């Protein structure tokens, strides 16, 4: 199933409640946590994520661009996020962490920076519900989709098929009405979109258009 997860990173944080209302037709709200160490930007931490959870009916997907995820990620599961996604580069015990997130009632994701090979997590993917492939260098919204990530998306989809994994393949960064078609064809099925949603005049219409474009370009379409 194709899913659109709008990122609230570049929304008007002073009007969080209103900004969350704009994306009520989305599947999940994607919340980017940045610590100014793992990435050169600081967004927010647990208190703001708790405020998001309190003010939206949408499930929340927490993308943790923070160091020492083994220590900090479980609190996001306890807070009620539907899925918690630390970076592979920031966890030393991903299997233990995935099991801990599951024990706390959340789904477990694992994210890869553009230069981190799939092989870094290939052997532990069975522990996870979602693989997040960054399609920009993490840290900021509004960047351009890195086209050379398409083969990585394709290989991830092949791996999921070959192993029969129950794993969503999420792409994050530079997703627009154009790039979403290529990412979907390559095999992604969950799409994070920040500026494509929040810079549109009508966020709900933008979400619907993205969903339609992704669905008509699904990798298995017509097979
Ligand atoms: C970047 C974040 C993204 C970002 C996406 O590090 O992980 O979720 O907000 O924004 P766009 O869609 O504008 O690239
Ligand atoms: Zn993100």
Neighbours of ion ligand 2 (CB under 5 A): 32, 63, 172
Compute mean pLDDT per 10 residues along the chain, 223 residues long, and list them: 96 97 97 98 98 98 98 98 98 98 99 98 98 99 98 98 98 98 98 98 98 95 58
Tell me, yes or no, if the pTM score tops 0.95: yes
Residue 222's pLDDT is what?
52
Residue 1's pLDDT is what?
86
Residue 6 Cβ contacting ligand 1 at under 6 Å: no
Residue 71's pLDDT is what?
98
Residue 49's pLDDT is what?
98
Nearest residue CA, atom 9 of ligand 1?
Answer: 141
Query: What string of DSSP letters covers the chain?
Result: --EEEEB-TTS-GGGHHHHHHHTTTSS-EEEEEEBSSSSS-B---HHHHHHHHHH-SS-EEEEEE-S-HHHHHHHHHHHT-SEEEEBGGG-S-HHHHHHHHHHTT-EEEEEE-TTS-THHHHTTGGG-SEEEEESS-TT-SSPPP-GGGHHHHHHHHHHHHHHT---EEEEESS--TTHHHHHHHHT--EEEESHHHHTSS-HHHHHHHHHHHHHHT-TTTT-
Residue 223's pLDDT is what?
53
Residue 10's pLDDT is what?
93
Ligand 1 center to residue 122 CA distance, Å?
A: 24
Residue 143 Cβ contacting ligand 1 at under 6 Å: yes
Nearest residue CA, atom 4 of ligand 1?
Answer: 141
Residue 175 CA: nearest ligand 1 atom is 12
Ligand 2 center to residue 161 CA distance, Å?
A: 25
């Amino acid at each position: 199933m194709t899913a659109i997860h709008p990122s609230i990173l570049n929304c008007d944080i002073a009007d969080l409640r209103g900004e969350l209302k704009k994306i009520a037709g989305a599947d999940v709200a994607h919340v980017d946590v940045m610590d100014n160490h793992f990435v050169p930007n600081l967004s927010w931490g647990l208190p703001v994520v708790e405020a998001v959870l309190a003010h939206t009916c949408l499930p929340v997907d927490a993308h943790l661009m923070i160091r020492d995820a083994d220590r900090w990620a479980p609190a996001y599961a306890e807070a009620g996020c539907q899925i918690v996604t630390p970076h592979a580069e920031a966890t030393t015990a991903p299997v233990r962490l995935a099991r801990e997130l599951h024990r706390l009632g959340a789904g477990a994701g694992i994210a890869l920076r553009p230069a981190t090979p799939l092989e870094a997590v290939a052997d532990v993917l069975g522990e996870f519900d979602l693989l997040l492939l960054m399609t920009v260098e993490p840290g900021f919204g509004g960047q351009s989709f890195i086209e050379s990530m398409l083969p990585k998306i394709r290989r991830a989809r092949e791996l999921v098929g070959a192993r029969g994994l129950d794993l969503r393949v999420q792409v994050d960064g530079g997703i627009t009405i154009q790039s979403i078609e290529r990412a979907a064809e390559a095999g992604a099925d969950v799409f994070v979109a920040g500026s494509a949603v929040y810079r549109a005049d009508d966020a709900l219409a933008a979400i619907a258009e993205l969903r339609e474009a992704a669905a008509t370009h699904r990798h298995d379409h017509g097979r």
